[in-house]
Amino acid sequence: MKKVVLKKGRQASLLRRHPWIFSGAIHSAPSQIKSGETVLITDDLQTPIAIGAFSPKSQIRVRVWSFNPQEKIDLSFFRNRLNAAIEKRKTLKLPEQTNAYRLVNAEADGLPGLIVDYYAQYLVIQILSAGAEYWKDGIVQRLRETINPKGIYERSDAEARKKEGLPLQKGLIWGEEPPDRLRIEENGLHFWVDIKNGHKTGFYLDQRENRKLVSEFAENKDVLNCFAFTGGFGLSAAKGRAKSVVNVEAVAGLLTEIEQNIKLNRLNPNLFENIKGDAFRILRKFVEDERKFDLIILDPPKFAERQSHLPKASRGYKDINLQAFKLLKTGGYLFTFSCSGLMKPDLFRKIVSDAALDAGREAQILKFLSQDKDHPIVLNIPESEYLKGLLLKVW
C-alpha cells in the first residue's frame, strides 16, 4: 500500500481521531497515485497511524477511513459501515416517525464525503469526496442489497466536489426513475419534495425536530417565517394553530411549492401571506411599517462558505436578528439559526446577543437548538456540529 508521511509533530489531530489531513501537514506522498486511492498514513518516524483516501487536488489531502492502520478497506468495510449507520437510524425509530431521513451523514458515520438520504422508498446519494467517488460502485451495490429501494438517484452536484477535482453530476444510478415530486410525511404533515432539483437533496431533513418545536409554540400566534424554502416551518406553525403565518421567500418557484404544500395538507390558505422578496429588505420594511409578530423564525442559507466570508456572514446574521428583535411583541419568541459550519456556537450566540442589545431588547435562552438526530454530532469532529440555533423569549 502507498504511504503518506506526515511532518514532525503534525499527527496530533489524528491522535485525537479527527479524520482530515491537510496538505500542509504532509511531508511526502507518492507522485503516482489515483484520486481516492487508499493510503497508509504514518508519522515522521514511519509509525502507522491510520488509513485513508488520498485526494490530490483538495486542501484536505487525506480523509481517514479507519484509525486502525491494519484494517482492510474493501467492500466488506463499506458494508459494515453502511449497516452500522442504517442500524443507528432504526434504533432512533426514525422509520416509525417519518418516511424521509438521513441514512448516512458522511464523517459523522465514518464515511467521509458520503451522504445518503431516504425519501419515500427512494435513496438520494451525494458523493463529495475523492474516496467516496473511488468506491462509488461498491457503495451503491451495498445500498441496493441492504435497503432494496425503488431507485437510487445521485445528487453529486454540490460545489464542494470542485474542491476535490471531481465533476458535478446527477441522475439515476440504479432502479426506477423517481417521480418529479415525492410525497413525504413528517410530524403529521405532508410535503412535496423534488429530489432531482431541490436544494441539498430536496428537503431540510436536519430541521425536523425544530419544526415540531415551532408547532408547539405557535398556538394563537402571529408568525413570521423568513427564508421559508418550501414552507416547513410555516406549515408547522399552522398545524400548531397559529393565528396567522407570513412566509418570506426570494425564489418565486418555492412560493408556488409552499402554496402546493398548504393545499396538500388541507390548511386554510387565508391563514397564510406568502411574500416574494429579499428577507433583509422585507424585515426592514416591516419595521418601518411597525408590524409586530409573536413568533419569528430565521433559518437563512449558509452565509460563510470559507473562513474569509466569516466577517461578512457575521454582519448578515446580526442584521436579520436585529430586525427580528425590533419586530417581536413583548413576550414573543425567536427561533434563530445558522447552518454555516464555520460559525462557531459561541460566536453565533454573541452575534445574537449584540443584536438584542442594539435593538434595546432583553432575551432569555429557552433552548439551544441543533440538527436532528439522524445528522449526528461527533465529539472529536467539531465540524459535524454545523447547525446552531437558539429559541429565545424576548422582552
Active centre residues (catalytic): 339
Q: What gap in Å lies between CA 150 and CA 152, rounded to an integer?
A: 7
C-alpha cell at 228: 421559508
Q: What gap in Å lies between CA 200 and CA 329, rounded to an integer?
A: 34
Partnered with residue 275 across adjacent β-strands are 248
Place of cell 466570508: 309
Q: What gap in Å lies between CA 342 and CA 316, rounded to an integer?
A: 14
Reduce the DSSP state of residue 127 to 3 states and report it.
Answer: strand
* Phi, psi angle pair for 166, to nearest 5°: -110, 145
Q: Which of 75, 53, 55 is nearest to 65 (CA)?
A: 53
C-alpha cell at 247: 412566509
Angle of CA points 178, 184, 185, to nearest 5°: 160
Q: What gap in Å lies between CA 339 and CA 211, rounded to an integer?
A: 15
Interhelix angle 232-239/208-217, rounded to 10 degrees, is 40
* Phi, psi angle pair for 186, to nearest 5°: -160, 125
Cα torsion for 239, 243, 246, 252, to the nearest 10°? 50
Q: What gap in Å lies between CA 3 and CA 257, rounded to an integer?
A: 51
